[in-house]
């Protein structure tokens, strides 16, 4: 059942802070990140200074201890400014939360303080050349020896793979998907940058190579065989939530740019916004952004309450928000006309970034299957 979520005074203060940071720091650097296909180290330093890389972690380990609705608002605002910055928080948080939930006390104290203050960057390494949505079929292997676990295989499309210090990496161990923590300085580990992507170009993708890569036995996260059923699915739930919220922010950016352009651009002696068909696109954009925001806020509220329905509501939010932002970005480009196809206008980048959100953390089609099957099983 849908509930009404009213933001507290403190949450509204956080929202204002996130908006100001995005306007002053994130948004002005987005075009450069897209062009250079990297996030400037100085920008990551500013994220560290604000503590945002630890937004999802409890204060016990040096994190901000934010509630889930507030974490969603942070990802919305960062997504409004730059999808690549938001992707950093997504994969960093996936690794950090996996350690928080499934790690031993030793692993938590070893890794979480650094992930919380940003001195360490985490990444999520599941996808391979031949394995995407069918995650249980990963081909990377892990074999226990007297020296530790020896890993062999390749991972592809790994967000922040170029700069991560530790990877939450999944491999077949004893024939079962299992999660491991793989430091970037492990013997036998190497990474190659992936460039030329269509969108979210600053996310610094990499292909990882593990050639007799040796990690300590204590870097096993959780138990052998629960890598997919427990660790990965829990991480992907957080990932979907942050991506959905980032889609809301990107949709809001599309709306703001379209309103500004429609007000200033004149055709046939009148502002473009006087055209009723333009008004229709603007109205649909505004209403759909609001609807997606409410779905995300509801999912965040249920996460905070530890309600099991939060998983289904997060699927719903990600499915709707990623579809919404593609329609919003397409209409924003249409409103801008030829200018919308030029990198001189941010909506060109928005449209490329929007498409990526329909693929990452579960494609639109996978969400359709998940949502439908869940409803059918409940009947």
| Catalytic residue list | 361
Q: In 3-state terms, what secondary structure has residue 363?
A: coil
C-beta neighbour count of 278 within 10 angstroms: 20
Give me the phi and psi of 325, to 5 degrees please. Answer: -70, -30
Q: Where are the alpha helices (DSSP H) in 305-340?
A: 310-336
Which of 25, 33, 125, 119 lies closest to 83 in space, CA to CA? 33
| CA pseudo-torsion sign 364, 311, 77, 280 | positive
| Interatomic CA distance for residues 277 and 258, integer angstroms | 13
**Is residue 141 within 8 Å of 208, Cβ to Cβ?**
no
Angle at CA 366, nearest 5°, toward 360 and 368?
Answer: 120
- Which position has the token pair 């949450």? 11
**CA-based end-to-end distance of the chain:** 16
- Which position has the token pair 């960093």? 92
Angle at CA 197, nearest 5°, toward 194 and 199?
Answer: 135
**Is residue 90 within 8 Å of 242, Cβ to Cβ?**
yes
Dig out the tokens for 281 from the structure: 């696109």
Give me the phi and psi of 239, to 5 degrees please. Answer: -60, -45
Give me the phi and psi of 173, to 5 degrees please. Answer: -125, 120
Phi-psi region of 198 (alpha: psi -120 to 50; beta: other; left: phi over 0): alpha
| Interatomic CA distance for residues 81 and 253, integer angstroms | 8
């Amino acid at each position: 059942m849908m509930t009404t979520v009213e933001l507290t005074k403190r949450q509204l203060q956080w929202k204002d802070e996130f908006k100001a940071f995005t306007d002053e720091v994130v948004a002005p650097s987005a075009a450069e990140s897209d062009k250079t296909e990297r996030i400037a180290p100085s920008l990551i330093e500013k994220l560290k200074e604000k503590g945002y890389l630890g937004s999802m972690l409890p204060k016990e380990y040096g994190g901000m201890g934010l509630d889930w609705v507030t974490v969603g608002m942070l990802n919305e605002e960062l997504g409004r400014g730059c999808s690549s910055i938001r992707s950093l928080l997504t994969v960093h948080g996936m690794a950090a939360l996996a350690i928080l939930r499934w790690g031993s006390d030793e692993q938590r104290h070893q890794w979480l303080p650094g992930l919380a203050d940003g001195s360490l960057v985490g990444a999520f390494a599941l996808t391979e050349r031949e394995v995407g949505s069918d995650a249980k079929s990963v081909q990377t292997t892990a074999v226990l020896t007297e020296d530790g676990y020896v890993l062999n295989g390749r991972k592809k499309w790994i967000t922040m793979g170029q700069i991560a210090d530790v990877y939450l990496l999944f491999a077949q161990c004893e024939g079962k998907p299992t999660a491991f923590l793989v430091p970037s300085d492990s013997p036998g580990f190497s990474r190659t940058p992936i460039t030329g992507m269509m969108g979210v170009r600053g996310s610094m993708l990499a292909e990882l190579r593990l050639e007799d890569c040796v990690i300590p036995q204590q870097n096993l996260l959780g138990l052998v065989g629960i890598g997919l059923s427990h660790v990965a699915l829990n991480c992907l739930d957080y990932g979907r939530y942050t991506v959905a919220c980032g889609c809301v922010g990107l949709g809001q950016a599309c709306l703001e740019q379209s309103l500004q352009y429609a007000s200033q651009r004149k055709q046939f002696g009148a502002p473009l916004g006087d055209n009723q068909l333009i008004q229709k696109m603007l109205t649909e954009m505004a209403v759909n952004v609001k609807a997606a925001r409410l779905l995300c806020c509801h999912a965040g509220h249920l996460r905070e309450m530890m309600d099991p329905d939060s998983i289904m509501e997060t699927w719903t939010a990600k499915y709707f928000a990623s579809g919404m932002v593609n329609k919003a970005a397409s209409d924003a480009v249409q409103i801008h006309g030829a200018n919308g196809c030029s990198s001189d206008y941010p909506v060109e980048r928005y449209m490329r970034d929007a498409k990526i959100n329909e693929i990452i953390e579960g494609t639109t089609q996978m969400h359709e299957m998940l949502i439908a099957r869940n409803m059918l099983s409940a009947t």
